[in-house]
Amino acid sequence: MKLLRLMIFLAGLSCLLPAQAEERPARVTVIFDAFGKPSDLERGWGYSALVEYGGKRILFDAGGQYQAFADNVRKLKIDLKTLDFVVISHRHGDHTGGLAYVLEQNPHVKIYAPLETGSFGTPPSPPAAKALLRNAAGITPDLRYFNGQPPANLTIDSPWPGTKFTLIDKSVEIAPGLFLVKTVSDSKGTLELNELSLAIRTPQGLAVIVGCSHPGIERILEAASQYDRQLYTVVGGLHLVDKSDQQVSEVVSNFKTRWHIERIAAGHCTGEFAQVELERVYGDHHDHSGIGEVIALPR
């Protein structure tokens, strides 16, 4: 009798498991990039991916062109109305170009973005507000800010008025096992640009989703590893496109020997030479991740 009950229980379980796997996917789907296998998806410069893990659906970045992003979302049959939240890695247009479409589909979705003065609707810091009140002797009334009486609540809209951004200025766990990793660039051209990466705790280590890696991919990995020293995969733009061959080879070698990363799914600004190096070093652990590709994550 006990054996019969066990058999019925196991039969029930085997029916349940595929259904659960279907309902709780563990994967990243690339929506927007400039390369990939032949398909009817549109290529463009920028990055966007749908991250599904632990029952959560997260849009990471929104591509670089409104129309191409919207078309790819429709062709991939991605429902933006049922997102849990959006993460915008940084302020550049190649990661925000499709945000207006996201907001048309889901106007009240929660959007995490880096605290970035003037980009995502930032109130001025108290010293800046105080500076407005500085009394300059001899100034005429028509040249005084707000007639000398600035409003108590001095806010600045983002280019997406009415959107409620949650601005992040330090790394934080936003849900169990889901982390926003904040880093700052000190590179020429993107000096002081803040960037958010998404780190997901999986049974085999962290999956780190990156937008453009302007602060440097190794700096991001260092910051992410505060949550787990074991790194499973890195997905997204590694920004090696403008580095010398020698620098690229060094970083790719470090992925293996210093960071012990199991797999790589590099996209966007990683660069063609880096893709060749990743193929050489990682072989079948190099996940090609052009538009439409689905990168499996460990569950």
Distance CA 107, CA 100 (A): 9
Q: How near is the Cβ of 89 to Fe ion at its closest, in Å?
A: 8
> In the complex with Fe ion, which residue's Cβ is closer, 94 or 277?
94
CB 217 to Fe ion: min, Å: 13
Kindly indicate which of the ranges 3-11, 88-96, 152-160, 195-203 contains the residues binding Fe ion, using the contact rule CB under 5 A. 88-96
# chain residues binding Fe ion, by CB under 5 A: 2
Q: Which CB, 269 or 297, lies closer to Fe ion?
A: 269
Cα dist from 80 to 102, 140, 193, 198, 287, whole Å: 7, 52, 28, 19, 25
Helix axis angle for 217-224 and 245-257, nearest 10°, is: 20
Q: Which one of the spans 51-59, 92-100, 121-129, 222-230 is the region binding Fe ion (CB under 5 A)?
A: 92-100
**Cα dihedral 296→70→96→217 (10° resolution):** 20
Q: What's the closest the beta carbon of residue 205 comes to Fe ion, in angstroms?
A: 25
Q: Which is nearer to Fe ion, 26 or 31 (CB)?
A: 31
Selected range binding Fe ion among 205-213, 220-228, 240-248, 289-297, rule: CB under 5 A: 205-213
Q: What is the rounded distance in angstroms from the CA atom of residue 73 to the CA atom of residue 67?
A: 10
Residue 126's CB: how many other CB atoms inside 10 A? 8
CB of 99 to Fe ion, least distance (A): 14
Nearer to Fe ion, 33 or 94 (CB): 94
- Shortest Å distance, C-beta 213 to Fe ion: 9
Residue 33's alpha-carbon distances to 62, 67, 75, 230, in angstroms, are 10, 13, 14, 28
Any residues with CB less than 8 A from the CB of 26 and at least 6 apart, and which?
52, 53, 54, 202, 296, 297, 298, 299
The reply to whether 94 sits near Fe ion by the rule CB under 5 A is: yes
CB of 228 to Fe ion, least distance (A): 26
Binding letters toward Fe ion, positions 242-261, x by CB under 5 A: --------------------
Write phi, then psi, for 263 (nearest 5 degrees).
Answer: -140, 165
* Residue number with CB closer to Fe ion (205 or 215): 215
- 92 or 201: CB nearest Fe ion: 92
CB atoms within 10 A of CB 117: 14
In terms of DSSP H, where are the helices of 53-191? Answer: 66-75, 93-96, 99-105, 126-132
Q: By CB under 5 A, name the one of 212, 248, 251, 261 that touches Fe ion.
A: 212
Task: Summarize as ranges the residues that interact with Fe ion (CB under 5 A).
Answer: 94, 212
